[in-house]
Amino acid sequence: MRVLVLFVIAACSRSNDIAVLRLEICAIAAVNQPKLEALVERVHGLQRSLRGDLPGWPNMLRTAELASDELGLPPFTQTTPPDPTWRPSATTLLGMGAYVRVRAGDLAVQGHRDELRFLIDDERTRYARGITSVTEHVVQVERWLAASR
């Protein structure tokens, strides 16, 4: 009888573990969403401010394009809105959240704990590195703009 009780407790805790891992994956994306939205607004500000009549603008344009691309926005110099069906790539910061939520659901259904843990580590690393990189690019262009005025 004790063995059966221990087996049931172990089985329940393992299924809860999967649910917790899945929730953690979704929480990581949700926590980073406001940071991404703030960076999107800053990149949009760069689009409005960056002009070709300032010395050194081609280098700063490329730097701003890097930030935009890494976020997953449409091309920096594109003036027309993207098609309504357009979505950011899963390999970008803006596209990663939707991808990991779907992938976490699939992995949870299949019971793949190790892959869920890997996804958590990868998601944390990619958000941290990506947000840092985009911020550095944006700050560089913002400083240049401020010094050019």
> pLDDT tens, 85-119?
999 999 999 999 999 999 999 999 999 999 999 99
> Is 29 within the bounds of a domain?
no
> Is 74 within the bounds of a domain?
yes
Residues near 33 by beta carbon (within 8 Å), at least 6 away in sequence:
97
Tokens of 5: 């009780």
Can you give the pLDDT at residue 4? 35
pTM of the model: 0.86
Average pLDDT score, the chain: 89
d(CA 117, CA 21): 7
Can you give the pLDDT at residue 14? 52
Does residue 12 register a pLDDT over 80? no
Does residue 134 register a pLDDT over 60? yes
Structural domain boundaries, residue 127: 38-78+87-149
> Is 51 within the bounds of a domain?
yes
> Is 5 within the bounds of a domain?
no
> Is 6 within the bounds of a domain?
no
Can you give the pLDDT at residue 149? 79
Number of H helices, E strands in the chain: 4, 0
> Is 107 within the bounds of a domain?
yes
Q: How many domains does the chain have?
A: 1
> Is 19 within the bounds of a domain?
no
Query: For 122-128, what is the mean pLDDT?
Result: 97
Using 50, 70 and 90 to split pLDDT, how confident is the model at 6? Answer: very low
> Is 16 within the bounds of a domain?
no
d(CA 108, CA 104): 6
